[in-house]
Amino acid sequence: MIENNNDEVLILGLPNSGKSTLVNVLTSKKVSIIGSTPNTTRDKVSTIAEINNKKVVISDLPGYLENPDELNKKFQNKLDEYIKQAGIILFVIDVNSKNYKGLDKLNTILRKQNKTIFTVFNKCENFKSYDLDQNLYKYIFDQDFYISSIHKIGTDELSNGISKKIKKRSSEPSSINKENSIVLVGRPNSGKSTLFNSLLDSERSVVSSMSGTTRDVIKDTLNLNNQKFQIIDTAGVPRSKQKNQIDRYASSLSIKELSNSLTALIVIDSTVGLSFEDLRLINECIENNVTPLLIMNKWDLLDTEQKDIINKNIKDNLKRFNWINILRISALTKKGISLIEKTLDDLYQQLQIRVPTSDLNIFLRELWVAKPPHPFRGKRSKLKYATQYGTQPPSIAINLNGRIPQNYQNFLVNKLRQQYGFYNICIKMKYNL
């Protein structure tokens, strides 16, 4: 959850009323997953948006069910808490809805709140306000709007109405950005949401034994050593053949979040072991210059023999990436959680290391002379100069007069790790000819 404040706009309503589409329209980006089946959204999804130069938090909620199953009951138990945190409520109603029993239940909940509440009648493509079913009048609160979120009809008027209730203007960029975002990725049922809740020390993300419970990208704020980090829970990433259309889109959102973070916690179910999908996620991280931290979850469920087998499997499969930190924990019992926080702090220290240009060039020239690269296609490359042009991650440019083999590039990276303390992080290398 992005920090609670009076400028949070909470969107709620019955399933399939068009809430998620409205969120995406108001934020001008794909925040919530949209599907033709009810209750595609399974948890609170928040993002920061700008409406008329005013910063606002827009939050989407799952559709309210009269008779919720176990999964939705867990969410609906937190509904009062979410409503109290918000400043503005958008009560979204499908203008053609006849589910008065469900609307009555939401109406009863909202009438108890001392909040600014806008009633938003959605799916009004060919509709005039004077045609409103008289049974729906009792659901009108402070102001009513008639929109079609899918066709963007009436949404400008709604945005203006929200803007008038927001006091703060956007003057400074958010303190949460790529440099202090941590994303959790992994296969379904690996324990990402349990770990997410354990790190936050609260039941923020809905957890169940059902595989693929999380579909949305859930964000909240984590404090580590007096510094704020955005921590992101994502949907599980299974094999392609295991995914339906919604799960496939949820998986793509998970992978996309890697490009918005510097560090990724790859959560692995220790009872299953390191899988092909886990290795693919490790490669995705490194290709995106995101530092992976392997979290072997449910480690407490293994006996000594099983632990030895898993450790050997990790050693065999991660020879290329033996610099990656691996932690063995139990998210459910919170054993090892403090070690994650300590390791993350260490990784962020490494990500900020800057090497003076003179030191870097002296070190690389001595290395080049002691062990020069083999000729590449008959030509031996010579080093011109090198420079570190950025941090987070450390970014180094090496200027050459010819190409060097891949094995020599790996050799250089390993030597740079040892020399300058880039022990467990990604290094971004650029070779200029």
Written as six digits, the tokens of 125 are 């493509």
Question: 225-244, pLDDT tens digit by residue?
Answer: 777 888 877 765 654 554 55
**Interval 351-364 mean pLDDT:** 96
Which position has the higher pLDDT, 181 or 343?
A: 343
**pTM for the full model?**
0.69
Whether the pLDDT of residue 331 is over 90: the answer is yes
pLDDT tier at 219, thresholds 50, 70, 90: confident
Which position has the higher pLDDT, 52 or 129?
A: 52
Which position has the higher pLDDT, 430 or 248?
A: 430
Give the rounded percent of residues in the chain with a pLDDT score beyond 90. 49
Phi, psi of 226 (to 5 degrees): 65, 20
Q: What pLDDT sits at residue 34?
A: 42
Sign of torsion over alpha carbons 123, 126, 129, 132:
negative
Query: Contact at 8 Å (CB) between 147 and 154?
Result: yes
Question: 388-425, pLDDT tens digit by residue?
Answer: 999 999 999 999 998 999 999 999 999 999 999 999 99
**Interval 285-306 mean pLDDT:** 94
Listed in sequence order, the residues at least 6 apart from 85 whose beta carbon sits closer than 8 Å to its beta carbon are: 4, 8, 10
Phi, psi of 161 (to 5 degrees): -65, -40
Whether the pLDDT of residue 325 is over 70: the answer is yes
Q: What pLDDT sits at residue 226?
A: 75
Neighbour tally for 359: CB within 10 Å: 12
Q: What pLDDT sits at residue 425?
A: 96
Q: What pLDDT sits at residue 222?
A: 82
**Interval 297-321 mean pLDDT:** 94
Amino acid letter, 217: V
**Interval 269-273 mean pLDDT:** 93
Give the rounded percent of residues in the chain with a pLDDT score beyond 70. 82
Which position has the higher pLDDT, 3 or 315?
A: 315
Listed in sequence order, the residues at least 6 apart from 228 whose beta carbon sits closer than 8 Å to its beta carbon are: 175, 176, 180, 221, 222
Amino acid letter, 225: N
Please tell me the least confidently modeled range out of 61-70, 247-256, 312-321: 247-256
Start and end residues for every CATH 3.30.300.20 domain found in the chain: 357-432
Q: Rounded to an integer, what distance in angstroms lies between the CA atom of residue 326 and that of residue 292? A: 9
Q: Rounded to an integer, what distance in angstroms lies between the CA atom of residue 204 and that of residue 200? A: 8
Radius of gyration, alpha carbons of the chain: 25
Phi, psi of 8 (to 5 degrees): -85, 130
Neighbour tally for 394: CB within 10 Å: 25
Bridge-based pairing state of the strands 143-146 and 181-186: unpaired
CATH of domain 178-351: 3.40.50.300
Which position has the higher pLDDT, 4 or 331?
A: 331
Beta bridge partners of residue 412, listed in sequence order: none
Which position has the higher pLDDT, 377 or 246?
A: 377
Q: What pLDDT sits at residue 212?
A: 45
pLDDT tier at 280, thresholds 50, 70, 90: confident
Cis ω on the peptide bond leading into residue 292 (within 30° of 0)? no
Neighbour tally for 130: CB within 10 Å: 5
Q: Rounded to an integer, what distance in angstroms lies between the CA atom of residue 266 and that of residue 327? A: 10
Start and end residues for every CATH 3.40.50.300 domain found in the chain: 8-165, 178-351
Please give the mean pLDDT across all residues of the chain: 83
pLDDT tier at 269, thresholds 50, 70, 90: very high
As a whole number of Å, the end-to-end CA separation of the chain is 46
Q: What pLDDT sits at residue 35?
A: 43
Asked if the 8-165 domain carries CATH number 3.40.50.300, the reply is yes
Sign of torsion over alpha carbons 75, 214, 66, 69:
negative
Which position has the higher pLDDT, 2 or 293?
A: 293
Whether the pLDDT of residue 210 is over 80: the answer is no
Which position has the higher pLDDT, 325 or 254?
A: 325
Beta bridge partners of residue 91, listed in sequence order: 12, 119
Q: What pLDDT sits at residue 122?
A: 94
Amino acid letter, 427: I
Q: Rounded to an integer, what distance in angstroms lies between the CA atom of residue 6 and that of residue 205? A: 22
Give the side-chain half-sphere CA count within 13 A for 401: 6
CATH of domain 357-432: 3.30.300.20
pLDDT tier at 147, thresholds 50, 70, 90: very high
Entry field: residues in the chain: 433
Q: What pLDDT sits at residue 255?
A: 64
pLDDT tier at 81, thresholds 50, 70, 90: confident
Question: 179-209, pLDDT tens digit by residue?
Answer: 788 888 888 888 888 898 888 886 655 444 4
Please tell me the least confidently modeled range out of 250-254, 261-265, 403-407: 250-254
Question: 154-177, pLDDT tens digit by residue?
Answer: 999 999 999 998 876 544 444 556
Which position has the higher pLDDT, 56 or 247?
A: 56
Bridge-based pairing state of the strands 227-233 and 181-186: parallel
